[in-house]
Structure 1
Amino acid sequence: MDEKGNLVKLLELDDDFIVDLKYASADNFTGQKIYHSNECYMDRHTAVILIEAKNIFAKDGFRVKVMDAYRPISAQKKFWEILPDNNFVARPPDMSKLKVFRPTHLNGLCVDITLTDIEGSEIVMPSAFDDFSERASLLCQKTSEVGRRHATYMKEVMEHVGFRAYENEWWHFYDVSTEPTPFMDFQI
């Protein structure tokens, strides 16, 4: 098994996920390829509870598409250079001062997901991924009722297994059920 510290390759634990890391191509808000590959790493515990959520979604006729998971510190620095807005892009950490860690992409304790039908076609959600408008918020009422219903269902399942939703981005979930580990710059 390919492991890097607390990180594991999701598809080695369960190959029923659709992995489409948006930053492994130019199909993202930066317009640039940020990651070197589409290999999806995350914290081992985060992967286990994501698999639990995936199994619940599967019973209801859905699959899970992962659009982001572990992110190197250097990638976060690139994002901040492009969009220095704390509402959508976290400021890169000063690792010389940081002593306490929290769940983030930088330690593999966050995932960005959407749901698809069984064939892999994305279902209606409130907005596109990385939509930096109010439409991305779980609280926005200016989106389709169907999209809000899907996002609410996804949030309920993810929170049931140990994640916490980020209210400004319907796709973003923190693993709050495990102890945060230090941030890394392992390249993917």
Structure 2
Amino acid sequence: MTIRQYGNLVRLLDLDEDFIIDLIYATPNNFTGSVVYDSPECFIDIDTAKRLIAAKDLVKKDGLRMKVWDAFRPVSAQQRFWDLLPDNDFVAYPPDMAVITEFKNSHMNGQCVDVTLTDTNGKELLMPSAFDDFTQKARLDCPETSGEALKNAIYLREIMMQAGFTPYIGEWWHFYDKNPTPARYTETIPK
């Protein structure tokens, strides 16, 4: 098998074909209502991919699968999101690539992922909200969240933490790689 790699980014399915890839921003079925990504291929930081594979293997032992909604995101896409929703609780402010010198784990370097869980047939488990829900329902500490949805989201969070990710409190689906060496942000997505 050929592994497509561009700098720190690698095509996830070249490393492990057991993921369900549903890059929401490569379709018009997202909060923008239009296709944002030029490619439906899921690229991710190589070290982040290894941690995500470890998480996927843990849920597989429990008879579940992992679906990836987002991983690497071009800086231009981040700018587009910010232009539509300038709220730092839900969309990170895009960097000025001409002057930035310090980087952090982000979608813009493939060191963050947006994921959910499915059954073995690919049917998504009940979670507290839909993906990219910009309300309090996206938070695990939302008082309205309970029962099976809360249980599933907590399970996902615990698995991801065990594999080396840090959850984002404002979105049950968003996880930062704990990689201590953030890569540079990337302007383009590999095709």
In which range does the TM-score fall when normalised by the shorter chain?
over 0.9
Is the CA contact 2:105–2:179 (under 8 Å) kept in the aligned structure 1? no
1:103 equivalent in structure 2: 105
Correspondent of 1:28 among 27, 30, 50: 30
Q: CA deviation at 1:161?
A: 1.1
What is the 5 A alignment of 1:66-77? 66-77=68-79
Unmatched 5+ residue regions in structure 2?
none
The Cα offsets for residues 41-90 of structure 1, whole Å up to 9 and x where unpaired, read as 00000000100000000001110000000000000011111111111111
The Cα offsets for residues 129-188 of structure 1, whole Å up to 9 and x where unpaired, read as 000000000111202421111111100110111100000000000001341011001225
Aligned residues: 188
- Could you list the runs of 4 or more consecutive aligned residues of structure 1 that deviate by over 3 angstroms after TM superposition? none
What is the 5 A alignment of 1:14-163? 14-163=16-165
Is the CA contact 1:45–1:178 (under 8 Å) kept in the aligned structure 2? no
SS at match of 1:103: coil
Q: CA deviation at 1:38?
A: 1.1
- TM-score when normalising by structure 2: 0.96
Distance, in Å, in 1 between the alignment partners of 2:143 and 2:62 is 25
- TM-score when normalising by structure 1: 0.98
Q: Which amino acid aligns with 2:22?
A: D
Is the CA contact 2:69–2:114 (under 8 Å) kept in the aligned structure 1? yes
Cα RMSD over matched residues?
A: 0.9
Distance, in Å, in 1 between the alignment partners of 2:152 and 2:139 is 13
